[in-house]
Amino acid sequence: MRIGVLGAGSWGTTLASLVAPRHDTVLWARDPEVAKSVTVDHVNPKYLPGFDLPVELSATPLIGEAAGDADLLVIGVPTSGFRCVLEEAVEYIRHWIPIVSLSKGLERGSLLRMTEVIREVIPGHPVAALTGPNIAWEIMAGKAAAAVIATDDLEVANAIQAVFTRGVFRVYLNDDVVGCEMGGALKNVIAIATGIGEGLGVGDNTRAAVMSRGLAELTRLGVAMGAQPATFAGLAGMGDLIVTCMSPYGRNRAVGEQLGRGRALEEVLGEMHMVAEGVNTASVALELAERHHLDLPICAMINRVVNGELGPLEAYRGLTPPGRETDPC
């Protein structure tokens, strides 16, 4: 099988590295230097420093070389550029091939999930989302991990599962595409909140409370949008939330931690090679919440923090109000 992976960030490169030894895999990198490093030196020092990549993996700065002739296309670019990359690649994509999204976020303006963007830009293709608690560095180091392939087409799901499962990297099936994508998107906002708590030194008890309330919050919105409640107790919900909130490699948690220590958002983001999706997702989540007549206090607070309307300490006081008589979960 020929596989095209669009996006040479840490996760796109990792997934391409997993499948390259068994399938003809081409990775698209917008930066020609990154493409050269992957193909010639078998490394990606910008996004995966310290790891050797399979010699079978090749990369190109030409999107047509990765997308053309692909039997399976994987999109691993930030949500802010997701639609543009699809529009750039559409003329090269063969009819009917499955397209898989790796991106965890929501499109600003349209409020669409990434599989919805794919269906809008490139209709007529089987579409899926790969999500779950997947830290790229740990997977590259050979540590066990599990992911979920979410699609409503069982035949396509089984085929993609067979392609991606390798060794201690296991892929499970889920037909709740809405729940899996919403869990992956909204956990980034909760991770910023958790990181702020770490930066402020509030303690593990308080951060656990915010994570629990955050899980309830993203579940409410997901269910209102048609998701299955059980999805948020699984890999795509609680699993992804835990690792994003607690891992030292979590970008959104790291952004929150720096905000909690008093640094300016622009300064923090300016130092990052990769995108912290939660910064933009908070406002989109609030628009969706308004559409469904829901209250999302954590998303609201984080949105005010990233917009500069509220300081981290003041926000955290708002995130931990006096308890109610019933658990919000």
Q: For this structure, is 143 an active site residue? A: no
CB 148 within 8 A of CB 236: yes
Token pair 């550029």 is found at: 81
> How does DSSP assign 65-96, residue by residue?
HHHTT-SEEEE-S-HHHHHHHHHHHGGGPPTT
Identify the active-site residue in 36, 46, 104, 187.
187
CB 85 within 8 A of CB 117: no
192: tokens are 């910023």
The residue among 233, 239, 122 whose CA lies nearest residue 170 is 239
Q: How far is CA 91 from CA 35, 65, 102, 121, in A?
A: 22, 12, 21, 11
Query: Is 262 exposed, middle or buried, given 0-12, 13-18 or 19+ CB atoms closer than 10 A?
Result: exposed
Token pair 């269910």 is found at: 223
Q: HSE, CB side, 13 Å, CA atoms: give it for residue 17.
A: 24
Q: Check the CA dihedral 138-141-145-147 and report its sign.
A: positive
Helix, strand or coil, per DSSP, at residue 98: coil
Name the residues annotated as catalytic.
187
